[in-house]
């Protein structure tokens, strides 16, 4: 147990440092997590033997639940509404067409049985939400004509369709007695209805039950995601479809303290992505991959340049979209973790196939991420599909919250430069807006003619600074013998790499000025470069 925890901690830290490094290069960071797992694996540097498909399937499926939930939670229906219908068709009809085209290709070229051929097509028929989100966010690809919203909605909702096709074909191959229409009906109805119902109940509880603390609400949402997947699955529905619709419902409704929930799931999904790709890299045996490389390469080329474009064109042409949009949506069909997880499900069913399905799908995903994931920003520029006037982060619901606005309070004292002046006479930056004025227990809505008086509390709104990676805050406790104890800030040596931005003194917080004197027991909060 101790060795496992040590190993896990070291791997997570390595992934975090790699993530910081990979942001600066064009290759998607998820590839490096795969390669890191392979380096730790049986053919790698540490030669760790790991071939537990059952454990891997459990861990990856659990992580995929949170990725799917957060994909739905971050889907902004207002931004996605103009492209909701084509996105829905891409995630349903598009997946079926892609599976059919790939199945036909595999049967024709490799002479495999029809069911086996369509099984391969079904497993790799969906685009991967984690991969698409990773590229869009890390490369900040804001696309024209709501294309980023279309890709977001499609990639978040098409995995359940691929999963349904996979389990149906597996049932046929093992001779399981099932009714295909009834299975599809249960999968879809229980998946969609169950997700919406669970989401509604969760929103009702969060908005009407006051007994939950702030951490308690986040934990409640965490539990809701688990229930949204597991309950419909137990009843015969599609758990992935359910958890995705549950996320959409909750993400587009008011929830108290949603900002804390967003931060929690942001971290959780990032860790989940790292865990999945590292674990899959650890599970694979690289020395076995050359056996399936040529078939995987052939399927990847056909999928990228024929199957996906044909499917996308068939769906989008009736909507009279531009050729550039069709081209970009076609190229953005990245394969990813969901396909590998579905291949593990097939392996665990004990089905004998011509090719090792896990290895085959692993190579297809690696090729897709390497080629399409790396070139997607370039293709978007070549097709003139990048919209410089918008920010792709705004298509995600977690960035639509009022969390991107900060409120600043200004106490108007007798000698304050704002005292006895009208708001319209103040020289304020355009990004600042006076929103509330508190005067002798009264709340006023200020206008340009409002005269500021001594004793007023003026509340200003401004865009919040969000580039957290480039601002690291540090704390230092001032002891009695500390070199800064008793000194005024204006007397400190000037240092362009060090700035005290806040002082915690007891229960109060002080915004420092030149005549602020540092005292023992103060906690200095400072930024440095």
- pLDDT, position 472: 62
Q: Is the pLDDT of residue 105 over 90?
A: yes
- Is 0.75 topped by the overall pTM? no
- pLDDT, position 471: 59
8 A C-beta contact, residue 157 and residue 133: no
Q: Is the pLDDT of residue 403 over 60?
A: no
CB neighbour list of residue 13: distance below 8 Å, 6 or more residues apart:
none
8 A C-beta contact, residue 374 and residue 28: yes
Q: Is the pLDDT of residue 393 over 60?
A: no
- pLDDT, position 255: 83
- pLDDT, position 317: 92
pLDDT (average), residues 391-398? 49
pLDDT bracket for residue 396 (50, 70, 90): very low
Q: Is the pLDDT of residue 222 over 90?
A: yes
- pLDDT, position 99: 94
- pLDDT, position 22: 61
pLDDT bracket for residue 297 (50, 70, 90): very high
188 vs 230: which has the higher pLDDT: 230
> Looking at the domain 402-463, which fold is it?
Alpha-Beta Plaits (3.30.70)
H helices within 369-440, ranges in order? 374-382
Q: Using CA atoms, how far apart are residues 190 and 10, in angstroms rounded to an integer?
A: 41
- pLDDT, position 402: 42
Q: Is the pLDDT of residue 384 over 80?
A: yes
CB neighbour list of residue 55: distance below 8 Å, 6 or more residues apart:
none
Same CATH fold assignment for domains 402-463 and 472-528:
yes
pLDDT (average), residues 179-208? 86
pLDDT tens by residue, 464-518: 665 555 556 677 788 888 888 888 888 887 766 677 878 888 767 787 878 888 8
pLDDT (average), residues 169-187? 79
pLDDT bracket for residue 401 (50, 70, 90): very low
Q: Where are the domains of the chain?
A: 49-253+286-396, 402-463, 472-528
Determine how many CB atoms are found less than 10 A away from the CB of residue 161: 24
> At residue 219, what are phi and psi to the nearest 5 degrees?
-65, -40
pLDDT (average), residues 115-130? 89
CB neighbour list of residue 314: distance below 8 Å, 6 or more residues apart:
93, 94, 97
Q: Is the pLDDT of residue 281 over 90?
A: no
Determine how many CB atoms are found less than 10 A away from the CB of residue 341: 24
- pLDDT, position 131: 74
Q: Using CA atoms, how far apart are residues 124 and 361, in angstroms rounded to an integer?
A: 7
**CA proximity to 269, closest of 371, 394, 131, 366:** 131
H or E element, residue 459: strand 457-463
- pLDDT, position 23: 61
* Segment of 203-212, 278-287, 300-309, 411-420 carrying the highest mean pLDDT: 300-309
- pLDDT, position 326: 92
Dig out the tokens for 130 from the structure: 């984690």
pLDDT tens by residue, 22-54: 666 666 677 777 888 888 877 777 777 777 888
Q: Is the pLDDT of residue 199 over 90?
A: yes
pLDDT (average), residues 367-376? 87
Q: Is the pLDDT of residue 76 over 70?
A: yes
Q: Is the pLDDT of residue 435 over 60?
A: yes
pLDDT tens by residue, 83-103: 888 988 998 899 999 999 999
- pLDDT, position 139: 67
> What are the Cα distances from residue 258, in Å, to 78, 214, 255?
18, 10, 5
- Across 147-151, 241-245, 248-252, 299-303, least confident range: 147-151
- pLDDT, position 19: 65
155 vs 78: which has the higher pLDDT: 155
- pLDDT, position 363: 92
Judge: domain 49-253+286-396, CATH 1.20.1530.20: yes
- pLDDT, position 367: 92
Beta bridge partners of 457: 411, 438
- pLDDT, position 17: 73
- pLDDT, position 238: 84
Q: Is the pLDDT of residue 5 over 50?
A: yes
Mean pLDDT, the chain, integer = 82
Dig out the tokens for 10 from the structure: 């070291």
- pLDDT, position 466: 57
Q: Which CATH architecture has domain 472-528?
A: 2-Layer Sandwich (3.30)
H or E element, residue 230: helix 214-234
CB neighbour list of residue 290: distance below 8 Å, 6 or more residues apart:
none
- Classify strands 433-439 and 442-444 as parallel, antiparallel or unpaired: antiparallel
């Amino acid at each position: 147990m101790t060795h496992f925890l040590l190993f896990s901690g070291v791997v997570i830290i390595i992934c975090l440092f790699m993530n910081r490094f990979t942001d600066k290069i064009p290759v998607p960071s998820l590839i490096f997590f795969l390669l890191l797992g392979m380096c730790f694996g049986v053919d790698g540097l540490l030669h760790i033997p790991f071939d537990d498909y059952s454990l891997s399937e459990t861990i990856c499926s659990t992580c995929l639940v949170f990725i799917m939930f957060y994909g739905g939670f971050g889907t902004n229906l207002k931004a996605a509404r103009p492209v909701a219908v084509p996105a829905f068709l891409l995630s349903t009809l598009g997946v079926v067409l892609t599976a059919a085209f790939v199945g036909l290709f595999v049967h024709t070229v490799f002479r495999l049985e029809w069911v086996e051929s369509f099984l391969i097509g079904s497993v790799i028929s969906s685009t991967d939400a984690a991969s698409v989100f990773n590229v869009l966010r890390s490369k900040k690809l804001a696309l024209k004509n709501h294309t980023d919203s279309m890709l977001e909605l499609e990639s978040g909702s098409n995995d359940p369709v691929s999963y349904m096709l996979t389990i149906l074909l597996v049932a046929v191959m093992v001779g399981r007695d099932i009714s295909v229409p009834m299975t599809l009906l249960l999968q879809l109805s229980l998946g969609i209805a169950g997700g919406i119902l669970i989401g509604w109940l969760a929103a009702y509880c969060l908005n009407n039950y006051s007994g939950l603390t702030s951490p308690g609400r986040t934990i409640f949402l965490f539990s809701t995601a688990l229930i949204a997947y597991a309950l419909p699955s137990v009843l015969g529905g599609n758990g992935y479809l359910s958890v995705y619709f549950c996320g959409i419902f909750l993400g587009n409704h008011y929830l108290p303290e949603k900002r804390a929930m967003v931060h929690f799931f942001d971290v959780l999904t990032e860790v989940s992505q790292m865990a999945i790709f590292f674990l899959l890299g650890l599970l694979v045996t690289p020395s076995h991959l050359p056996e399936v490389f040529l078939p995987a390469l052939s399927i990847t080329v056909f999928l990228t340049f024929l199957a996906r474009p044909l499917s996308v064109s068939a769906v989008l042409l009736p909507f009279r979209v531009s050729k550039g949009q069709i081209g970009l949506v076609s190229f953005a069909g990245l394969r990813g973790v969901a396909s590998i997880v579905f291949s593990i499900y097939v392996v665990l069913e004990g089905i004998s196939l011509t090719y090792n399905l896990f290895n085959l799908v692993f190579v297809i995903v690696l090729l897709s991420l390497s080629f399409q994931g790396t070139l997607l920003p370039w293709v978007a520029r070549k097709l003139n599909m990048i919209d410089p006037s918008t920010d792709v982060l705004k298509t995600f619901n977690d960035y639509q919250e009022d969390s991107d606005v900060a409120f600043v309070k200004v106490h108007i004292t007798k000698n304050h430069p704002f005292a006895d002046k009208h708001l319209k006479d103040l020289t304020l930056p355009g990004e600042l807006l006076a929103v509330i004025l508190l005067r002798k227990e009264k709340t006023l809505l200020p206008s340009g003619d409002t005269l500021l008086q001594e004793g007023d509390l003026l509340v200003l709104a401004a865009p919040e600074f969000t580039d957290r990676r480039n601002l690291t805050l540090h704390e230092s406790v001032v002891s009695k013998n500390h070199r800064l104890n008793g000194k005024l800030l204006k007397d400190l040596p000037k240092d362009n790499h060090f700035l005290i931005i806040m002082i915690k003194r007891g229960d109060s917080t002080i915004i420092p000025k030149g005549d602020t004197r540092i005292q023992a027991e103060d906690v200095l909060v400072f930024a440095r470069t």
